[in-house]
């Protein structure tokens, strides 16, 4: 764990909030719920029948109303979306524009037979119509299920078949790294024999020819002609808002089901605590809406606070690696929320690109998606934030709905520790326990658990309550188990040590993959690292490493020996890998998470299984080639 700590505050210090949350977390969340607009107040704050929680039972609310109408009544002319395409095209939509557009889209869905509770699959690029589609569903009480626009036809088929969506919203194509992804063609292949899909609504975005079948409708023909008046459906607080399928890093995607009232309360409060967004701020979260970060902190959170945000379609490093910094300069972005994967990628190019742009508008930085290496954290803080911007390193999941552990500049000024997710947010009861569920003292590694229900938690897994119980609640009775390994320090700060199922056991010692990977990345020659374990007849597991070097670094015996000593020093001798593989890229999901099971499968010469969420299959082939090359070297040394 890094010993350095930094305090960069925004002038907030609300210790009373934490005090109230600790005294009675249910009453605390009641107070937070009162900050939203309810058409009918709840009769019961929490109905807890482990492992099922229902928040604000009896209350009635509409997510779209809270996201748009509330701000329109105050200032409908305020920009809501500053959209930019990869090719430089741009659009601006005010809150009034967005509300009118959403109402027309909602009326279109009604005309296609969509009613409260029906599912609508959305497969669109990062364009304003993606946000419009989610909000249109929410306005009429339909359940949206967004599929990231990089997924394959089989992935779409699996998700649509599971949700039984009545309507699919897609586009002719989307742009990525200068190429057009033909989305409509992928949808056609996915649903060719799925008769329960009644309509496919097609947005003309890339302006390419598409085949239009009997159930296909053009977005412009219907939406442009629809009325811009659509009264919001008042739904129960416990009414499903969306289904979002997990990325499938460890197996078949699961349909995470989120409700409305509790979810909105959690996201509304945490967005304020995390980012302290003011009326003058320009906010930019780089996440795609196809992931939960996009749902919570691109759509619902920012809009409920009347924020102006940048929305971007394309790769952050295209056509040049300075693209993201150019956007910060162009839009005077004040709050930037991105991933460690993106930061490590940008670090590879050095400091010159970011230093050449005016980043002085930035006042707060955020990280999401995975633990951030201390070395990357310090680069973000010093090079991008110029040591004046607080960093919120957020830990949460698709299942939790909103942030659970993070620094909270919008609430309090507290030291930041590079590599630590900081403390639990108010109203959340986080523990670090041993195999038997007993609390561990500070400094001891254990399993992260959530000890009490929280408003943003999933209702269940879509259509599978039993799997919900088994996956999240079977390890520890009445405690939610997210599957992460962690440690709590003397100050109560949580340090995430990677997935518990990615924990290695070498000669009786438990090692977190994130610890070893952070050790590698803290070396000046390494841009990215992934480690996994393979069976070893003596040690139980043998550590093997996969490294992506920074530009200019060359692999040789000297660097190998240097890295061995570096890992011995930063993590410990037991963590030194037995094998090193240098590759140009790591196999990742489209959300940027390393697929360690693929690394392990290749190392053990096993079938790699489902790769529907893999970003680039070439990464796996390169790793296979690296293994074969090493085997040849080993055989050659034996002969000599």
Q: Can you give the CATH number for the domain in which 219 is found?
A: 3.40.50.980
152 in a structural domain: yes
Strands (E), 205-294: 216-218, 235-236, 242-245, 255-258, 282-285
588, 598 contact by CB (below 8 A): no
Domain that holds residue 139: 88-233
276 in a structural domain: no
Query: What is the structure's pLDDT at 569?
Result: 82
Query: What is the structure's pLDDT at 312?
Result: 98
Beta-bridged to residue 311, according to DSSP, are: 83
Query: What is the structure's pLDDT at 1?
Result: 54
124, 149 contact by CB (below 8 A): yes
Query: What is the structure's pLDDT at 474?
Result: 95
Residues 6+ positions from 89 with CB-CB distance below 8 Å? none
What's the Rg (C-alpha) of the chain?
A: 24
Dump pLDDT digits (tens) for 372-413: 889 999 999 999 999 999 999 999 999 999 999 999 999 998
Dump pLDDT digits (tens) for 574-625: 889 999 989 888 888 777 778 777 887 777 777 766 666 666 667 677 777 7
Which strands form 484-488's sheet, in the order they lie side by side?
Answer: 430-433, 445-450, 484-488, 494-499
Rounded to the nearest integer, the mean pLDDT of the chain is 91
CB atoms within 10 A of CB 138: 29
Q: Which of 233, 265, 280 is the last residue of a domain?
A: 233
CATH number of the domain to which 535 belongs: 3.30.300.30
CA–CA distance, 222 with 201 (Å, rounded to integer): 9
192 in a structural domain: yes
478 in a structural domain: no
Nearest Cα neighbor of 234 from 478, 21, 24, 37 is 37
Cite the DSSP H helix spans in 48-166.
Answer: 63-64, 70-75, 95-111, 128-140, 153-163
CA–CA distance, 503 with 299 (Å, rounded to integer): 34
Q: What is the pairing mode between strands 44-49 and 52-57?
A: antiparallel
299, 161 contact by CB (below 8 A): no
422 in a structural domain: no
Tokens of 367: 């990280």
At 640, the pLDDT band (50, 70, 90 cuts) reads: very low
Query: What is the structure's pLDDT at 247?
Result: 55
What residue has token string 């692999």? 555
Q: Which of 233, 253, 284 is the last residue of a domain?
A: 233
408 in a structural domain: no
As to burial, measured by CB atoms within 10 angstroms (0-12 exposed, 13-18 middle, 19+ buried), residue 57 is: middle
Q: What is the mean pLDDT of residues 203-214?
A: 96
Supply the DSSP string of 301-324, one letter for each residue: HHHHTT-EEEEEES-TTSSSTTHH
Dump pLDDT digits (tens) for 23-79: 999 999 999 999 999 999 999 999 999 999 999 999 999 999 999 999 999 999 999
At 348, the pLDDT band (50, 70, 90 cuts) reads: confident
At 249, the pLDDT band (50, 70, 90 cuts) reads: very low
529 in a structural domain: yes
Q: Which of 190, 212, 233 is the last residue of a domain?
A: 233
Query: What is the structure's pLDDT at 627?
Result: 64
CA–CA distance, 106 with 380 (Å, rounded to integer): 41
- When divided into structural domains, the chain yields a total of 2
Asked if pLDDT for residue 182 goes beyond 90, the answer is yes
pTM: 0.85
175 in a structural domain: yes
Cα torsion angle, 453, 457, 459, 465, sign: negative
């Amino acid at each position: 764990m890094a010993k350095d700590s930094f305090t960069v505050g925004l002038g907030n210090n609300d210790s009373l909030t934490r005090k109230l949350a600790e005294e009675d977390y249910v009453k605390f969340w009641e107070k937070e719920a009162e900050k939203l607009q309810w058409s009918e107040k709840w009769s019961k704050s929490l109905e807890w029948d482990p492992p099922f929680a229902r928040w604000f039972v009896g209350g009635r609310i509409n997510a779209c109303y809270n996201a748009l109408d509330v701000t329109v009544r105050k200032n409908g002319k305020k920009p809501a979306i500053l959209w930019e395409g990869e090719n430089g095209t741009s659009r601006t939509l005010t809150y009034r524009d967005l509300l009118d557009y959403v109402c027309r889209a909602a009326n279109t869905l009604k005309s296609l037979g969509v009613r409260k509770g029906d599912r609508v699959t959305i497969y669109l690029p990062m364009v304003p119509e993606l946000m419009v589609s989610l909000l249109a569903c929410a306005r009429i009480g339909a359940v949206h299920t967004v599929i990231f626009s990089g997924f394959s036809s089989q992935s779409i088929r699996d998700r649509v078949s599971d949700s039984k969506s009545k309507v699919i919203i897609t586009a002719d194509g989307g742009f990525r790294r200068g190429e057009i992804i033909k989305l409509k063609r992928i949808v056609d292949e996915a649903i060719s024999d799925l008769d329960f899909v009644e309509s496919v609504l097609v947005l003309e975005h890339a302006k390419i020819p598409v085949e239009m079948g009997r159930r296909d409708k053009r977005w412009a023909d219907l939406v442009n002609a629809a009325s811009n008046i659509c009264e919001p459906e008042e739904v129960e607080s416990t009414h499903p808002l969306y289904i979002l399928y997990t990325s499938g890093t460890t197996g078949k995607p699961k349909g995470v089901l989120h409700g409305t009232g509790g979810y909105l309360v959690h996201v509304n409060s945490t967005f304020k605590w995390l980012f302290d967004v003011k009326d003058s701020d320009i906010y930019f979260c780089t996440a795609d809406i196809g992931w939960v970060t996009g749902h919570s902190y691109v759509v619902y959170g920012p809009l409920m606070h009347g924020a102006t945000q940048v929305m971007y379609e394309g790769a952050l490093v295209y056509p040049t690696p300075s693209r993201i910094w150019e956007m910060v300069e162009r839009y005077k972005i004040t709050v930037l929320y991105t991933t460690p994967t993106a930061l490590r990628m940008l670090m590879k190019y050095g400091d010159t690109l970011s230093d050449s742009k005016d980043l002085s508008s930035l006042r707060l930085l955020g990280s999401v998606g995975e633990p951030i290496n201390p070395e990357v954290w310090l680069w973000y803080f010093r090079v991008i934030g110029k040591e004046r911007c607080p960093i919120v390193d957020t830990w949460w999941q698709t299942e939790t709905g909103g942030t659970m552990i993070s620094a909270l500049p919008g609430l309090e000024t507290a030291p930041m520790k590079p590599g630590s997710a900081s403390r639990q947010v108010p109203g959340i009861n986080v523990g670090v326990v041993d195999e038997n569920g007993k609390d561990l003292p500070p400094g001891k590694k254990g399993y992260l658990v959530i000890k009490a229900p929280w408003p943003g938690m999933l209702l269940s897994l879509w259509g599978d309550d039993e799997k919900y119980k088994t996956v999240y609640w079977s390890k520890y009775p009445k405690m939610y188990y997210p599957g992460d390994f962690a440690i709590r320090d003397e100050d109560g700060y949580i340090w995430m040590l990677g997935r518990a199922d990615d924990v290695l056991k070498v000669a009786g010692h438990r090692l977190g993959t994130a610890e070893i990977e952070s050790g590698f990345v803290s070396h000046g020659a390494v841009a990215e690292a992934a480690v996994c374990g393979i069976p070893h007849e003596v040690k139980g597991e043998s550590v093997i490493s996969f490294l992506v070097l920074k530009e200019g670094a060359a692999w040789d015996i000297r660097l190998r020996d240097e890295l061995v000593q570096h890992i011995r020093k930063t993590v410990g001798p037991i963590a030194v890998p037995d094998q090193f593989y240098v590759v140009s890229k790591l196999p990742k999901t489209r959300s940027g998470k390393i697929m360690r099971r693929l690394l392990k499968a290749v190392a053990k010469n096993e079938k790699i299984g489902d790769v529907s969420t893999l970003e680039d299959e070439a990464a796996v082939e390169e790793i296979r080639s690296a293994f074969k090359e090493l085997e040849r070297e080993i055989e050659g040394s034996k002969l000599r």
